[in-house]
């Protein structure tokens, strides 16, 4: 997938498309393949260029991230273990749920924050929280923190880069690649640290 596609996608679909994509990637089974990180950064950058309104964009993606996670949680809570009886298809694979479940078991409620920056896992983490019947107040708390850091944070980062870094538009593709990679590092580092600690305890 070309990293130029988010620009075309945003200019074509506009605010409605942005809301739908962020919503879907935050908790719908079909959303795991969507380009959430690069899309948010690009939307913020386009806002700095006057194509979008940053004051409308930020609450839009924030609410989409919150509502998407809630939809995933509700789905997991009501469907529960029956989801594992579904046949694998183009938009669903049991391995995605298992990966998110293992990540959730290892890292607890903070998974909802860390998972925001990890493709695939961010889509299935709220579903797993619902399957595990995580207390809703706890879920909502971490859901809000994750939405602020990911949806709002990525959008504002793209906006400020476009606003204050001269000539950034010439390197926007490279910048998106670097930032998306860097944003995943804390979560990956945490996973590695927990894995090494678990391995040490098991000796």
Least confident piece of the model among 72-76, 125-129, 188-192: 188-192
- The arithmetic mean of pLDDT across residues 193-202, rounded, is 60
Judged by DSSP in three states, 203 sits in coil
Angle at which helices 54-79 and 136-147 pack, to 10 degrees? 150
pLDDT reading at 183 higher than 70: no
Average pLDDT across the chain, whole number? 79
Of 189 and 133, the structure prediction assigns the larger pLDDT to 133
Minimum mean pLDDT range among 80-94, 95-109, 134-148, 157-171? 80-94
Confidence band for 2, pLDDT divided at 50, 70 and 90: very low
**Whole-number CA gyration radius for the chain:** 17
- Taken as a whole, the chain contains a residue count of 203
Three-state DSSP class for residue 166: coil
What per-residue confidence (pLDDT) applies to 123? 84
The whole-number pLDDT of residue 197 equals 60
Tokens (6 digits) for 61: 């993606």
pLDDT (tens digit per residue) in 50-101: 999 999 999 999 999 999 999 999 988 888 666 666 665 555 566 766 766 6
pLDDT above 60: residue 182 = yes
8 Å CB contact between 18 and 60:
yes
* Angle value at C-alpha 28, between 25 and 31, nearest 5 degrees: 40
Query: Does the structure show a pLDDT above 50 at 1?
Result: no
Local confidence band at 109 (pLDDT 50, 70, 90 cut-offs): confident
Mean pLDDT of 122-146: 88
For the whole prediction, is pTM greater than 0.95?
no
Q: Which of the pair, 16 or 131, is modelled with greater confidence?
A: 16
Question: CB atoms < 10 A from the CB of 151, how many?
Answer: 27
User: Which of these, 48, 44, 69, lies nearest to 58 by C-alpha position?
Assistant: 44
Neighbours of 2 (CB within 10 A): 8
Assigned token pair, 5: 């596609």
140 pLDDT higher than 90:
yes
pLDDT at position 85, please?
62
91 backbone dihedrals φ, ψ, rounded to 5°: -105, 5
Domain residue ranges in the chain: 5-201
Closest CA to 6 of 181, 178, 173: 173
- Mean pLDDT calculated for residue range 181-190: 64
Give the end-to-end CA distance of the chain in Å, rounded to a whole number.
Answer: 43
């Amino acid at each position: 997938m070309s990293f130029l596609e988010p620009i075309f996608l945003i200019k074509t679909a506009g605010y409605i498309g942005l809301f739908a994509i962020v919503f879907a990637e935050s908790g719908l089974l079909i959303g795991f393949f969507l380009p959430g990180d690069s899309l948010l950064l690009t939307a913020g950058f386009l806002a700095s260029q006057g194509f979008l309104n940053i004051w409308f964009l930020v609450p839009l993606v924030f609410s989409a991230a919150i509502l998407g996670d809630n939809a995933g949680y509700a789905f997991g809570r009501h469907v529960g273990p029956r989801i594992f009886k579904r046949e694998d298809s183009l938009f669903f694979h049991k391995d995605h749920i298992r990966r998110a479940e293992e990540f959730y078991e290892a890292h607890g409620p903070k998974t909802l924050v860390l998972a925001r920056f990890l493709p695939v896992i961010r889509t299935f983490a709220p579903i797993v929280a619902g399957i595990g019947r995580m207390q809703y107040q706890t879920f909502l708390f971490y859901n809000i923190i994750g939405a602020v850091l990911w949806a709002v944070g990525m959008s504002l980062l793209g906006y400020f880069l476009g606003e204050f870094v001269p000539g950034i538009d010439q390197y926007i593709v490279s910048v998106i690649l670097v930032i998306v990679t860097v944003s995943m590092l804390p979560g990956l580092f945490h996973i590695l640290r927990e894995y090494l600690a678990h391995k040490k305890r098991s000796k």
